[in-house]
Structure 1
């Protein structure tokens, strides 16, 4: 799938966001290794800590559908705002990209496409290797 199409899927998912508190709608589209795309949008909650980011919604739905391997994720937010996955989303995505090779597609504030590998956004991530104590 082309990057433009994946970003368009993230934009489409953004339209379904539940963001009554921040009014900051975010959409994500996760490209699975088999070529399927799993969309997600942010789901806010009056108890702010219970809010789910679009990236984690997409990932959770993909995992629930049996997917475990991903090649890219696109994230779309309001125009005029540079957007990148938050730290929690980066950590959760790292669980499924142990080599950090997941491609993250975003836009700069001026709308220019940007991309980075997850490893560049989350260097020295915490993972299974840190849990080994033997």
Structure 2
């Protein structure tokens, strides 16, 4: 496994999305930030719903913002969970990320203070 330098711009952008998360049931915030192949930045947060699992994951929210912005190619994506534990995308989000990725796409799995 190689060590990749943390992108502070994307890391901070994802952390900013924390205050927007709607998590009245789990109190577990997840944030995501994307840099596209064209250099544009997008962020997303998780939004829970009482009709679980009908909420929106942070990764899906960021991807939706990216598509709305006219981009379709993820260069880097940061996924940040609450606290010190690393958070990985769920199976559905892994598929969504794959739909907009290339072999050069980097997926950064992070805790609130660090990335793996």
Q: TM-score, normalised by structure 2?
A: 0.87
2:26 alignment partner, SS class: coil
Q: Distance in 2 between matches of 1:77 and 1:12?
A: 12
Q: Distance in 1 between matches of 2:51 and 2:80?
A: 24
> 1:79 offset after TM fit, Å?
1.4
Aligned length, in residue pairs: 111
Find 1:58's aligned residue among 54, 58, 62: 62
Higher relative contact order (CA 8 A, sep 6+): 2
Spell out the pairing of 1:1-134 with structure 2 (5 A cutoff). 3-97=7-101, 99-107=102-110, 111-114=113-116
* Structure 2: runs of 5 or more not aligned: 1-5
Q: Distance in 2 between matches of 1:52 and 1:112?
A: 24
Q: Which has the larger radius of gyration?
A: 1
RMSD: 1.7
Q: Distance in 1 between matches of 2:20 and 2:41?
A: 16
> 1:5 offset after TM fit, Å?
1.5
Partner of 1:131: none
> 1:104 offset after TM fit, Å?
0.9
